[in-house]
Each structure stands twice: as C-alpha cells, then as structure tokens.
C-alpha cells in the first residue's frame, strides 16, 4: 500500500505587476520552509503582513506542498 510523506511546503504571495498589452501581469515572492502543521489562519496572517510591506497591490497567496509517494 502506498503512502504520502510530507517533504516541504512553500508560501507563494502573488502581486500585480502592471498591464502588458491589455493583460494583467503578475509577480510572485516565495517563502520556503513552511511547517506541515501551519494553519490556514496563521498563513493568512503571515501573508497579509508580508504583503503590507510591498508597494505592489496584493492579489493572494498559495501554500504549495510537496509530498513523497512511498
């Protein structure tokens, strides 16, 4: 029977970077070493706090997990 084992997670913040040929362009900033036990509320707090330090308009955040299939 196969199992999934947590490997790593990153928090990716997405910002507006302006318009190019009528389409919105985005840029992102990735923060590594997110703990597996990090809660959605905790990540939201961190994301909005970090986004407030940027001059670019904040769009949203993603938690991207990598798992090993064993």
Task: Give residue 30's domain range.
Answer: 4-69
User: pTM to 2 decimals?
Assistant: 0.85
pLDDT digits 0-9 by tens, 10-50: 999 999 998 888 899 999 999 999 998 999 999 999 999 99
* Cβ atoms 61, 43 nearer than 8 A: yes
pLDDT digits 0-9 by tens, 42-68: 999 999 999 999 999 999 999 999 999
Q: Which residues contact 36 (CB under 8 A, 6 or more apart)?
A: 6, 9, 65
Predicted pLDDT of residue 4: 92
Predicted pLDDT of residue 35: 93
* Cα 3 from Cα 39, distance rounded (Å): 22
């Amino acid at each position: 029977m196969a199992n999934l084992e947590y490997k790593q997670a990153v928090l990716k913040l997405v910002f507006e970077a302006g318009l190019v040929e009528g389409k919105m362009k985005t840029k992102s900033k990735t923060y590594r070493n997110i703990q597996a036990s990090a809660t959605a509320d905790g990540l939201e707090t961190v994301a909005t706090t970090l986004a407030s330090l940027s001059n670019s308009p904040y769009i949203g955040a993603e938690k991207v997990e990598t798992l090993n299939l064993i």
